[in-house]
């Protein structure tokens, strides 16, 4: 791939461009015949840094995923959950909430 890049630059395939989109800027060099590949491969030149710096910024640009099947975890703060996992609405007038959760340690035992 590097033999296809202009001198002093970096060449990338379509797959690399998709993975790095937003982090880097690309310019298409068009479809190119690559040794050992039957179909022409679209080659891109890396031209600079893109506007994104973190995975959170990338997720925001793509759109965040929803909490599917996580209703219990997303119950409003004015609700409580009984031992059967049923949400019960309480009257509340604001205040602070504390959310606790368990985690898995490297040994596989919940903490």
- The whole-number pLDDT of residue 25 equals 96
Residue 44 CB neighbours (<10 A): 21
Tell me the two tokens of residue 101.
């959760």
pLDDT tens digits, one per residue of 17-63: 999 999 999 999 999 998 888 999 999 999 999 998 888 888 887 77
How many Å apart are CA 98 and CA 77, to the nearest integer?
9
How many CB atoms within 10 Å of residue 80? 12
The structural domains of the chain, with segments of one domain joined by +, span 2-62
pLDDT tops 70 at residue 93: no
Q: What is the pTM of this model?
A: 0.54
22 dihedral zone (left: phi>0; alpha: psi -120 to 50; beta) = left
Rounded Cα gap, residues 45 and 35, in angstroms: 18
Q: Residue 61 in 3-state DSSP?
A: helix
């Amino acid at each position: 791939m590097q033999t296809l890049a202009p001198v002093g630059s970096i060449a990338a395939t379509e797959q690399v461009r998709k993975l790095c989109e937003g982090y880097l800027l690309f310019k298409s060099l068009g479809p190119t015949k690559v040794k050992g590949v039957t179909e022409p491969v679209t080659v891109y030149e890396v031209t600079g840094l893109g506007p994104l710096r973190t995975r959170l910024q990338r997720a925001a640009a793509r759109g965040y995923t929803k909490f599917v099947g996580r209703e219990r975890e997303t119950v409003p703060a004015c609700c409580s959950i009984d031992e059967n996992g049923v949400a019960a609405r309480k009257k509340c007038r604001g205040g602070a909430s504390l959310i606790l959760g368990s985690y898995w340690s490297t040994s596989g035992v919940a903490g």
